[in-house]
Amino acid sequence: MTFPLACPTPPATPDGAEPLPAFKPSRRHADLGPDFYDVVAPADFPAAILRYRNHAWARRVGLDDLSDEAWIAHFARFTPLPGSFERPLALRYHGHQFRSYNAYLGDGRGFLFAQAHDRRDGRLLDFGTKGSGTTPWSRGADGRLTLKGGVREVLATAMLEALGVETSKSFSLIETGEALERGDEPSPTRSAVLVRLSHSHLRIGTFQRFQFLEQPEAIARLVGYVVETYYPGIQDAEPAERAALFFEAMVARVARMGAQWMAAGFVHGVLNTDNINVTGESFDYGPWRFAHAHDPAFTAAYFDEWGLYSFGRQPEALFWNLSRLADCLLGLVPKERLEAGLKTFGPALQDAFAEAILFRLGVTPAQGEGEGAVHRLVGAFWAFLEKSRAPFEQVFFDWRGGLASEPRAARSPAGEHYASDAFRPVHTALQAMRPAANANLDHPYFAREKPCTMLIDEVEALWAPIAEADDWSALHAKLAEIEAMAGAYNTQALPPEA
């Protein structure tokens, strides 16, 4: 079950502020009150060099007409956007990190800078930062982001969005002129501040904080706010039913997120409860990886020694996190109802996974074929990927549109895999499929020999010329390649008027 997202009326532009006619601001998060955040000040950076601005999403939120100077003023100096917060808010939360509870979390190097409404669908968007300075939750750290970390997040979000994953968007990256000391990369290293768009920065850890503090009234208030803001379709239910429906909607959305990661060959790397937000949207990219091949044990974080968040265990991790949210709701919802909600995770994951595989392959059941044909294809396809260890992205690319692409697949660098016995069940299952209406097989992207990929060696190769010679041309070329892929998969951000 899915529910529509709310579109609260934005406040008027305050007197004296420079209006931005297409920008639809909001201060919605401030309605929660000071128990949920701390008002903070941004760092005063010695420099501000614009390295990336997301033109497509700037258009979606009505900020595409900003000059580079105005952009830097808002997203490096954090001059308030008219109609939104006068000062940034560092959000308070707790969370389980690798299943150990941490009561000292919170926005330690970021804050909620502003909120606005998407001009295309009206949904509320948060402008959250990373590397914007210290807050009460910095725990002795410097509150900064490395430039390399910012570049990696730009690449992760661009690639995931192109592959159809519900993800935050890297909105702005500005180099800030400081030399940072870091233990996990050559130091000193360059600094940056990132701004990302996300539909919410409230997370499971936000609920956990109030459970830890034994404040059930705050949990009830948080549920009411989240439902009113993000799930208005259930707002009129009585409180216990509303909380139960919210939980069930969260289960469905988080299952969809996990399914999309698996179909993209993506490993998030840090599936802590503070990294799961209330709209079921992927965000906060640290040691992420894309898998070269289907390997359930593949991990992203060097410190994940036990493979807790490995590729194949991501659904398990998400289920565990949802169980911690259920713990927080026990004062509002009967235990039996929460347990029933958790039991929907597996079926929801399977349905979302089948949908994601069909989307990636650009196929749909032929006339007269139904759900059974879909399940046969998904099962055969996934088993083939795991058994053959064929290049993950190449296989999806080669068989876009199903058997309509068989001649192209035969010429592929991975063609030998398709002549094997392991592939025969996939070929049989594809006979019950036809190209989807949006398969887009005539797009120039599908005339290539190899797909666009984002493996770790490619990321390092993109960073090397930046580090060595301040040469950004390879990164710009890669982002253009990802944009072409998004056009082929019909996942590019469309303008408001489209």
CA distance 294 to 313: 13
Residues 231, 235, 211, 252: is their CA dihedral positive or negative?
negative
Tokens read off for 275: 């990294």
The closest alpha carbon to 420, from 393, 385, 451, belongs to 385
Q: What's the pTM value of the predicted model, to 2 decimals?
A: 0.94
The closest alpha carbon to 68, from 83, 90, 50, 84, belongs to 50
Q: Is the peptide bond before 465 cis (omega within 30 degrees of 0)?
A: no
Answer yes or no: are the C-beta atoms of 293 and 390 closer than 8 Å: yes
Residue appearing with tokens 């005539």? 442
Length of the chain: 498
* DSSP conformation class of 422: G
pLDDT (tens, 9 = 90+) of the chain, 498 residues, equals: 333 333 333 333 333 345 688 999 999 999 999 999 999 999 999 999 999 999 999 999 999 999 999 999 999 999 999 999 999 999 999 999 999 999 999 999 999 999 999 999 999 999 999 999 999 999 999 999 999 999 999 999 999 999 999 999 999 999 999 999 887 778 899 999 999 999 999 999 999 999 999 999 999 999 999 999 999 999 999 999 999 999 999 999 999 999 999 999 999 999 999 999 999 999 999 999 999 999 999 999 999 999 999 999 999 999 999 999 999 999 999 999 999 999 999 999 999 999 999 999 999 999 988 899 999 999 999 999 999 999 999 999 999 999 999 999 999 999 999 999 999 999 999 999 999 999 999 999 999 999 999 999 999 999 999 999 999 999 999 999 999 999 999 999 998 986
- Catalytic residue positions, numbered: 274
- Measure Cα distances from 253 to 48, 278, 317 in Å: 37, 9, 15
